[in-house]
Amino acid sequence: MSINADVRVATATSTTTAGSTSRAALAWRVALAVNAVAAGVALAIKFAGAATTADPQFPTVAGRVFNELCYFTIQSNLVVIGVCCALAWRPERWRWVAGAPRLAGLVCITVTGVVYYSLLAADQHLHGIALVGDVLAHAVSPVLFVGTWLLLGPRGRLRPRHVRQMLAFPVLWIVLTLLRGATVRVYPYDFVDVGANGYAAVFVTVVALTAAATALAAGAVWFDRRRAVSGPRRRPVSRPTRPG
């Protein structure tokens, strides 16, 4: 093959690779934006419902909205919105968000969906717009966030240290929930209700959930690093050589 033919083949290969990479990056950012919108709509519905629904324990609108904010579902979706907006808007500038913050989102939104549909959903009797918000927060948002990470990446951003950093969020939520519960006697979920279950039972539940979250985070880091090593690599473009 002549030198000019080699150059044309190399150029075509490079152009095709660049085009594929550009389309993948666009799909990734669009998926993140859709996820942020879905989670945002879910929270808007939930906050509006809390603000307009009478609650004798929280007679003011501010009190009801703040009480809604204390739910792990709400806070997990807030993490999802923050991560998705940062990475979809300026992924290079907010590159660090793809580390511990995204891992926290992955773990917490997964726990949100699994715990809700395994322990809590059967007791909920929602209709209309409230049901829409519930499905968006507990099903659509988790599937979009985890699915985008699994299918579109990016890979190689997670490190073992991110597991420890990620745990700060759920542990802080548990501590603040128990402190608030001890003060106002209100708990967002039955399984952390010390008054109904006792500290021993709540402690066992919290330890089990923390262990599950740690295992999930460690598995995500392992998967990410394994895929980063074994994934497809860009084929180097050979330099044209003079015929001997």
In this predicted model, what pLDDT tens digit does every residue of 148-174 receive, in sequence order? Answer: 999 887 788 889 999 999 999 999 999
* 169-189 burial: b if 16+ Cβ within 10 Å, else e: bbeebbeebbeebeeeeebbe
> What local confidence, expressed as pLDDT, does residue 63 receive?
93
> What local confidence, expressed as pLDDT, does residue 42 receive?
96
> What local confidence, expressed as pLDDT, does residue 20 receive?
57
Q: Does position 64 have pLDDT exceeding 60, yes or no?
A: yes
Cα–Cα distance for residue pair 176/172, rounded to 1 Å: 6
Cα–Cα distance for residue pair 244/241, rounded to 1 Å: 9
> What local confidence, expressed as pLDDT, does residue 126 receive?
86
Q: Does position 7 have pLDDT exceeding 60, yes or no?
A: no
Q: Percent of the chain having pLDDT more than 90? A: 62
Closest by Cα among 133, 130, 135, 141 to 78: 141
CA 202 vs CA 14, 154, 172, 191: distances in Å = 57, 37, 16, 6
Residues 6+ apart with CB under 8 A from 98: 87, 91, 154, 157
> What local confidence, expressed as pLDDT, does residue 26 receive?
86
Evaluate whether 43 touches 130 at the Cβ level (below 8 Å). no
Q: Does position 89 have pLDDT exceeding 50, yes or no?
A: yes
